């Protein structure tokens, strides 16, 4: 019997260290611990919101090889669908009770995710299905789909901005030493972490997750094992759309106003995140979103003019280092 | 006469503008091992992929266990009891060996006894159980691919050129494993390496240009040098 030891499984820790390394590297440049804390928490919160909006897109690309340039439509629809619940529950939102505020938000999120999942299902059937395997057509038709959805939002809710004030208990900031941390940003960090942990557990600890990961690698073989990958595709598309809907609610509350084009406006950030992370990688998307938001915040403080191009500079640096993105094999 | 488990009658398959299978007639008897031989491009892989529904037959009929599966979708064909080991092996490289097999066990948790039975064929799988399948050698990946196909009992196992690119020592182990397998399931084995299959096969069919040009008992072909040369020609010599 052979006594040779097994070769070590190669581990790739470098991308995981980027976020803490960036956070620590800028501390001496910023100088003040309280300013650093404020900037860092704000960056993490924005990063989490970008991650929530982007995670669905990277999943859809990874599993289905679909370039969905209409993903932003689900962000907008999610935010507007939430108002269907939040408007009649204004009393709960204005109450000083955190439980009532979160209860109303929870229901709004459920509504947003249900509506966007349903819209995602219809979008896949009507818009995506005829163009599987044709990237150029996918780009054109999904962009067209987004324009149609934006126009429908204008028809239903009007072309004016719709205010979406924060619930009473989530307004303002808490003091952490000398640092003022906005309460809503803490909620955004918590929700983002919850989504990431949930996705991580589903993808790595469940048979459904195994099927998705296997389907990303070789959908044909998954079918040959007896699984209907088409149904899996549709379910993942609907789930990805629902995540975008959740991201839309979070983003709308962060901006406190909604417009039909809000989803289209964040698409550049979403795409940069997905590209930095590596198309199809949820972990890469998480790291990419945090890196992008933190870099923008730090650059905005240290060199405001650089903040305008920080996303592009970051993407360039990552792609020069790893042309397929941080976590793409 | 042994009952047929799988029957292809006049099967044609087009891939784009190419007419690959041009009326394939093939019978795989229940139990034992049927071999499909032929040179590169003869249509062997297309035959297996057409049986699995990965490419649709444009004409003809495929009957499995008395049931017409010609137009069935791949997952339904798999659920009907056909397992497939493709030429590329198609192991899920980002998943561990355990996860590859766990995924293939459609009907619930893996049967521990069956797993031990598989480990007897392929001890390396136990050793690399929690190892990413993508990091394994070609021979080990082939073991994962076959183990994945037999982790649950299936009535028919389609194996496409399992010896391709493997070292001779590994090919011997593989031959032994397939010999043991054919006692428990029907196997349709596609090969170019005649020496590998001459002692394994019970029946043989030879393909050329999208047709079956010979079918019969393997023993007859193995003992008839002239027939081998006529059917397999230089391809046979190159393997000897």
Sheet harboring B156-160: ordered strands across? Answer: B82-85, B156-160, B186-191, B33-38, B203-208, B211-217
Q: Out of A9, A214, A227, whose CB is closest to B92?
A: A214
Spatial CA neighbour of A72 closest among A260, A234, A233, A236: A260
pLDDT higher than threshold 50 for residue B235? no
B-chain residues near A224 (CB < 8 A) = 52, 54, 74, 78, 84, 86, 90
pLDDT value of position A7: 64
Q: How many CB atoms lie within 10 A of CB A195?
A: 20
CB contact under 8 A, A7 and B148: no
pLDDT value of position B186: 96
**Chain A residue closest to B130 (CA)?**
A9
A-chain residues near B135 (CB < 8 A) = 7, 9-10
pLDDT value of position A8: 66
Q: Average pLDDT in the B104-123 region? A: 91
Task: Read off the pLDDT of residues A247-299 as tens digits, 9 standing for 90 and up.
Answer: 999 999 999 999 999 999 999 999 999 999 998 889 999 999 999 999 999 99
User: The complex's ipTM?
Assistant: 0.91
Task: Read off the pLDDT of residues B148-189 as tens digits, 9 standing for 90 and up.
Answer: 999 999 999 999 999 887 888 778 888 888 888 888 899 999
pLDDT value of position B237: 47
* A320 at B interface, C-beta within 8 A: no
pLDDT value of position A5: 58
User: Which pTM value belongs to this model?
Assistant: 0.82
Task: Read off the pLDDT of residues B19-62 as tens digits, 9 standing for 90 and up.
Answer: 999 999 999 999 889 999 998 899 999 999 999 999 999 999 99
Whole-angstrom Cα distance, residue A78 to residue A56?
A: 13
pLDDT value of position B200: 92
Q: Percent of chain B having pLDDT more than 70?
A: 97
Residue B25, token pair as written in the block: 């007639």
DSSP E strands, chain B = 4-15, 18-29, 33-38, 59-64, 67-68, 82-85, 156-160, 186-191, 203-208, 211-217
* Residue from B16, B50, B74 to probe the interface with A (highest A Cβ count within 10 Å): B74
* A9 at B interface, C-beta within 8 A: yes
pLDDT value of position A270: 95
Q: Average pLDDT in the B198-208 region? A: 93
B-chain residues near A9 (CB < 8 A) = 131-132, 135
Planar angle of CA A159, A165, A170, nearest 5 degrees: 155
- How many A-B residue pairs are in contact by the CB < 8 A criterion? 62
Per-residue pLDDT of chain A (329 residues; tens, 9 = 90+): 344 456 666 678 899 999 999 999 999 999 999 999 999 999 999 999 999 999 999 988 877 888 999 999 999 999 999 999 999 999 999 998 999 999 999 999 999 999 999 999 999 999 998 998 899 999 999 999 999 999 999 999 999 999 999 999 999 999 988 888 999 999 999 999 999 999 999 988 899 989 988 987 898 999 999 999 888 889 999 999 999 999 999 999 999 999 999 999 999 999 999 999 998 889 999 999 999 999 999 999 999 988 889 999 999 999 999 999 998 75
Query: Any bridge partners for residue B211, and if so which?
Result: B208
Binned at pLDDT 50, 70 and 90, residue B234 comes out as very low
* A175 at B interface, C-beta within 8 A: no
Task: Read off the pLDDT of residues B69-102 as tens digits, 9 standing for 90 and up.
Answer: 999 999 999 999 999 999 999 999 989 999 999 9
pLDDT higher than threshold 50 for residue B238? no
Question: Across chain A, which distance is largest between two alpha carbons, in Å?
Answer: 76
Backbone torsion region of residue A278, taken as left when φ is above 0, otherwise alpha when ψ lies between -120 and 50, otherwise beta:
left
Q: Out of A6, A214, A216, whose CB is closest to B103?
A: A214
Whole-angstrom Cα distance, residue B211 to residue B41?
A: 11
CB contact under 8 A, A228 and B75: yes
Whole-angstrom Cα distance, residue B187 to residue B146?
A: 11
DSSP SS3 for A327: coil
Number of helices (H) and strands (E), helices first, in chain A?
13, 4
Q: How many CB atoms lie within 10 A of CB B68?
A: 10
A-chain residues near B81 (CB < 8 A) = none
Q: Out of A6, A217, A224, whose CB is closest to B84?
A: A224
Helical (H) or strand (E) element with B3: none
pLDDT value of position B236: 45
Query: Any bridge partners for residue A176, and if so which?
Result: A179
Q: Percent of chain B having pLDDT more than 90?
A: 70
Whole-angstrom Cα distance, residue B188 to residue B182?
A: 10
């Amino acid at each position: 019997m052979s006594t040779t030891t097994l070769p070590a499984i190669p581990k790739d820790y470098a991308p995981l260290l980027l976020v803490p390394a960036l956070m620590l590297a800028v501390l001496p440049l910023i100088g003040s611990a309280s300013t650093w804390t404020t900037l860092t928490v704000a960056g993490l919160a924005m990063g989490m919101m970008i991650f929530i909006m982007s995670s669905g897109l990277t999943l859809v690309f990874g599993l289905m090889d679909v370039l969905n340039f209409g993903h932003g439509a689900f962000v907008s629809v999610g935010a507007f669908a939430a108002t269907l619940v939040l408007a009649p529950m204004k009393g709960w939102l204005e109450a000083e009770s955190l439980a009532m505020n979160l209860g109303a938000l929870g229901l709004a999120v459920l509504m947003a995710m249900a509506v966007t999942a349903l819209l995602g299902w219809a979008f896949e059937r009507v818009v995506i299905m005829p163009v599987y395997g044709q990237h150029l057509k996918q780009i054109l038709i999904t962009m067209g789909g987004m324009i149609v959805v934006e126009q429908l939002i204008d028809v239903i809710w009007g072309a004016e901005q719709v205010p979406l004030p924060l619930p009473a208990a989530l307004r303002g900031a808490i003091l952490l030493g000398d640092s003022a941390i906005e309460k809503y940003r803490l909620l955004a960090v918590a929700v983002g972490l919850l989504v990431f942990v949930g996705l991580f557990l589903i993808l790595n600890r469940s048979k459904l997750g195994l099927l998705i990961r296997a389907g990303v690698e070789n959908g044909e073989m998954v079918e040959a094992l007896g699984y209907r990958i088409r149904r899996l595709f549709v379910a993942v598309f609907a789930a990805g759309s629902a995540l975008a809907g959740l991201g839309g609610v979070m983003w709308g509350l962060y901006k406190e106003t909604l417009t039909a084009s809000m989803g289209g406006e964040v698409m550049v950030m979403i795409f940069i995140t997905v590209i930095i992370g590596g198309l199809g990688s949820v972990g890469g998307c998480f790291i990419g979103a945090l890196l992008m938001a933190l870099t923008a915040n730090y650059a905005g403080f240290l060199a405001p003019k650089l903040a305008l191009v920080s996303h592009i500079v970051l993407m360039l640096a990552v792609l020069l280092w790893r042309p397929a993105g941080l976590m793409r094999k | 006469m042994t009952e047929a488990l799988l029957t292809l009658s006049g099967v044609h398959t087009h891939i784009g503008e190419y007419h690959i299978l041009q009326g394939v007639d093939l019978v795989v008897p229940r139990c034992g091992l049927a071999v499909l031989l032929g040179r590169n491009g003869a249509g062997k892989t297309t035959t297996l992929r057409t049986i699995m529904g990965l490419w649709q037959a444009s004409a003809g009929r495929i009957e499995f266990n008395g049931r017409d599966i010609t137009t069935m979708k791949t997952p339904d064909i798999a659920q009907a009891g056909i397992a497939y080991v493709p030429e590329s092996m198609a192991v899920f490289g980002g998943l561990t060996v355990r996860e590859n097999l766990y995924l293939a066990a459609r009907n619930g948790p893996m049967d521990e006894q069956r797993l031990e039975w598989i480990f007897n064929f392929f001890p390396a799988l136990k050793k690399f159980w929690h190892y990413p399948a993508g990091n394994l050698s070609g021979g080990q990946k082939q073991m994962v691919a076959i183990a994945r196909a037999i982790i649950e009992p299936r009535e028919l196992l389609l194996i496409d050129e399992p010896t391709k690119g493997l070292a001779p020592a590994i090919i011997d182990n593989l031959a032994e494993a397939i010999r043991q397998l054919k006692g428990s399931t029907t196997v349709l084995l596609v090969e170019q390496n005649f020496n590998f299959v001459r002692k394994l096969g019970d029946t043989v069919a030879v393909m050329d240009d999208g047709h079956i040009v010979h079918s019969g008992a393997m023993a007859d072909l193995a003992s008839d040098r002239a027939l081998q040369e006529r059917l397999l020609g230089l391809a046979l010599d190159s393997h000897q």
